[in-house]
Chains A and B, each alone.
Chain A
């Protein structure tokens, strides 16, 4: 019988034919860590080896609290830089470069048919390029530094087929929120999720990334899609090594196949305090907001900037709202500047911040006050996620965030 992508790639990397439920040991191609490298390096040192198994396997990006908010964060960065120098880690990206997942993609390190792990739960993002990408813990990353290896349980696969064309005002963020709302935060626990169908094939790279990025919000181990033509073109001249696309066999066994038709999809909002508390925008329209957080590895790419700039052009952000803008990478920032998006967004009254994760996990740069409501384009709205458990966070698409920033309340882009 045929194999799914996950079964196939774990068979290839473990050197034997495997089935779901088995435990395998593999050597991932890439192991990513970010500001947590400081802590990981301490654990590595406890392991009693003095050299990394393969320094070129490791990618380190400083992004989670950049520039450092206080001396502790600064110390983490310093420890990380020293570790990088000591061990000759060439794939190191300092605080000006951007959010880890985006930086990895832009630097041609995210490749189809490879196994990529990251000490960050949103490492499922790499599936947008047809990689087996998953989050691991800090200790596990330290062990990979020492041994190159990690264990996995071979996951069953759920296939999600998307049909139809996006109606006006609706995009990939609305789609993934819809899916999370329907199948819930544990709907794909321990599973591989494969996104397929004509809609997925025709989406832009930036829109596609949103789906595997948030696959972890379904509990999934990986989110995967077959790299489309645009993706393969993007990799030409950028890929840092040769790769081979790995796809599920036509006769592979999927644990479940779910189908969604998006022809009638409306903008979706994840309401406090869980990502799967999703409602159609019509039910929460009018909710007053204090802050808009436009950023994160989910939605702060060039096409998101284009959408937001278009809406904000010639408008002013509501007097009671502050809008904070964090480009996902330096390259995106520069391009958005060149195209005039940054100018437009700043003229509308938004605050242009540095590239990085910003307030996404509550470290700094826009922590809300007690009782405040934030509309955010990131991927999580748990209590306290943005640094204050007395605030409320709603998640939306960049388009909804821009319209809402002008109005001062959650606004349906289709009526505006």
Chain B
């Protein structure tokens, strides 16, 4: 699987309160509406201009703070197809995997990628290609990859339960 899209690049310690504000966590339940508020307190231009297949690039500890799953759902619904960061908060990492959103750890790639450029992520080969070159990233553990490949935890569980 390969993802090609425009980069939205942000800094270190991007927390879930700026990705999806706490005040909406119990009032918005429609995923499409979540997308309208994605990154609202960080980058008001994001939700308006993001396109299908775009990619978010962050620094270290991306998604720290509250474990709210909507912070993963909202960017996915907004069109984001991968998040690349130097490191992720563990709950954010889990929430992304559980929603079928690829999370990629590569400090070198993050340093090399420019905001706004078009990059390509090859999930099968484990490579990120940007203007500055091609970077490899480690594969997800097979157990986790299984969830991601089934499209997220819910379809994955349904498959196991035989209720799909």
Contacts and interface: CB of A to CB of B under 8 A. Distances in A.
Do these two chains interact?
yes
B106 interface: no
A23 interface: yes
Contacts of A39: 29
B143 A23 contact: yes
Nearest to A35: B26
Contact of A190 (B41, B67, B90, B144): B90
B27 A70 contact: yes
A239 interface: no
B87 A186 contact: yes
A147 B153 contact: no
A361 B153 contact: no
B143 A151 contact: yes
Nearest to A70: B27
A33 B13 CA distance: 26
A362 interface: yes
B143 to A, nearest CB: 4
Interface in B118-164: 141, 143-144, 152-154, 157-158, 160-161, 163-164
Interface string B89-117: 11100110011000000000000000000
Interface stretch (A85-93, A136-144, A288-296): A136-144
Interface string A68-96: 00101100100000000000000000000
Interface stretch (A253-261, A320-328, A376-384): A376-384
B25 A186 contact: no
B163 A47 contact: yes
A46 interface: yes
B77 interface: no
A86 to B, nearest CB: 19
A383 B17 contact: yes
Contact of B154 (A47, A70, A186, A362): A47
B41 A136 contact: no
Contact of B25 (A36, A70, A151, A190): A36
A363 B17 CA distance: 12
Contacts of B72: 137
Nearest to B144: A23
Most buried by B among A46, A119, A362, A385: A385
Contacts of A121: 65-67, 91
Most buried by B among A39, A139, A219, A276: A139
A140 B25 contact: no
A221 interface: yes
A116 interface: no
B22 A189 contact: no
A140 B94 contact: yes
Contact of A47 (B41, B64, B161): B161
Contact of A135 (B13, B23, B91, B144): B91
A136 B67 contact: yes
Nearest to B67: A121
B26 A120 contact: no
A219 B67 contact: no
B41 A138 contact: no
B79 interface: no
Nearest to B142: A23
Nearest to B60: A186
Given A135-B67, A380-B66, A383-B41, A363 B29 contact: no
A387 to B, nearest CB: 5
Contact of A384 (B22, B89, B98, B144): B22
Contact of A48 (B64, B65, B98, B163): B163
Most buried by B among A142, A367, A382, A389: A382
Contacts of A147: 157, 160-161
Given A47-B158, A139-B154, A382 B67 contact: no
27 contacts: A23-B143, A36-B26, A38-B26, A39-B29, A47-B158, A73-B27, A135-B91, A138-B69, A139-B154, A140-B98, A143-B153, A146-B161, A153-B141, A185-B13, A185-B61, A186-B13, A186-B60, A186-B89, A219-B64, A363-B22, A380-B65, A380-B66, A384-B18, A384-B23, A385-B17, A385-B22, A389-B21
Cβ-closest 7 pairs across A and B: A48-B163, A186-B61, A361-B22, A121-B67, A382-B17, A137-B69, A72-B27
Interface of A: 23, 35-36, 38-39, 42-43, 46-49, 64-65, 70, 72-73, 76, 119-121, 135-140, 142-143, 146-147, 151, 153, 185-186, 189-190, 219, 221, 274, 276, 361-363, 367, 380, 382-385, 387, 389
Given A73-B27, A139-B69, 6 more contacts: A36-B26, A47-B154, A48-B158, A186-B61, A186-B64, A384-B21
